Structure 1
């Protein structure tokens, strides 16, 4: 088909460009939503794994200290036993299912603070170090 002079006017070309921009924008938004949702889930899983690992470390330390306190009650004060039990109780309060609220992060900060107090009272230099965490493959 041959185009004759006057078949294509400037308005038609501007509308065509606008139409392609709108289609491109819609396609880009859909693709962005999909990739953003996937990236968000992956990041959420990684962060949840890190936090769970850290809480598990604190819980394990508290469990060990409780056993030591109970085996040698004359060497440790009741205050230490209560602090360790309080740490475990605080960790138990953190929900283990998927949550959308930010209160979980506040609870994790409280756990960290409680752990810090307990290690200070015990006079031990305990610090959670996640440097040896395994690489996650996707």
Structure 2
């Protein structure tokens, strides 16, 4: 038996083992990275969705409250304000905000924010949803 030939077999075995372990390590790392990416993506999506939902709910509550207040006044100024509030409420109700994959989600959200700013301007209410969130976050019960 040739002693040199056994050394080559051992060398080939080491090279093959190194390649196999590298491949297994890559596969394990890829699987763990994919799992972590999905978990982090879900967490980010849920957080973003909750913030958007809170924002839209605030706009809805704001509009309904002002609508109730303005309906008590029969003057022309109140009627004009009511029309803008109705437009905001209509936009909230017709916006497709339940599909995070929708291409229209960003556009719908921007339209709602713009309409909310218009309503605040008409009502002379210096209100921004971000200011509301800062106030709400600082409140403790």
TM-score range, shorter chain: 0.7 to 0.9
User: Cα distance 1:91–1:102, how it changes in 2: closer, same or farther (>3 A)?
Assistant: same
CA contact (8 A) 1:58 1:115 kept: yes
Q: What is the rounded CA distance, in whole Å, between the counterparts of 1:93 and 1:46 in structure 2?
A: 23
Report the equivalent of 1:8: 10
Structure 1 position 75, deviation (Å): 6.2
Structure 2 unmatched runs, 5+:
none
Q: What is the rounded CA distance, in whole Å, between the counterparts of 2:118 and 2:97 in structure 1?
A: 24
Report the equivalent of 1:30: 31
Aligned ranges 1:34-49 → 2 under 5 Å? 34-49=35-50
User: Cα distance 1:45–1:133, how it changes in 2: closer, same or farther (>3 A)?
Assistant: farther
Which structure 1 residue ranges, 4+ long, deviate > 3 Å from structure 2?
A: 95-99
After superposition, the C-alpha distances for 1:21-41 in whole angstroms (9 at most, x for unaligned) are: 111111111111212111111
CA contact (8 A) 1:83 1:118 kept: yes
Aligned ranges 1:45-124 → 2 under 5 Å? 45-74=46-75, 76-95=77-96, 97-124=98-125
Alignment RMSD: 2.2
- Secondary structure of 1:8 counterpart: helix
Q: Which has the higher contact order (CA 8 A, sep 6+)?
A: 1
Structure 1 position 98, deviation (Å): 4.3
Q: How many residue pairs get matched?
A: 130
- Secondary structure of 1:124 counterpart: coil
Q: What is the rounded CA distance, in whole Å, between the counterparts of 2:46 and 2:137 in structure 1?
A: 14
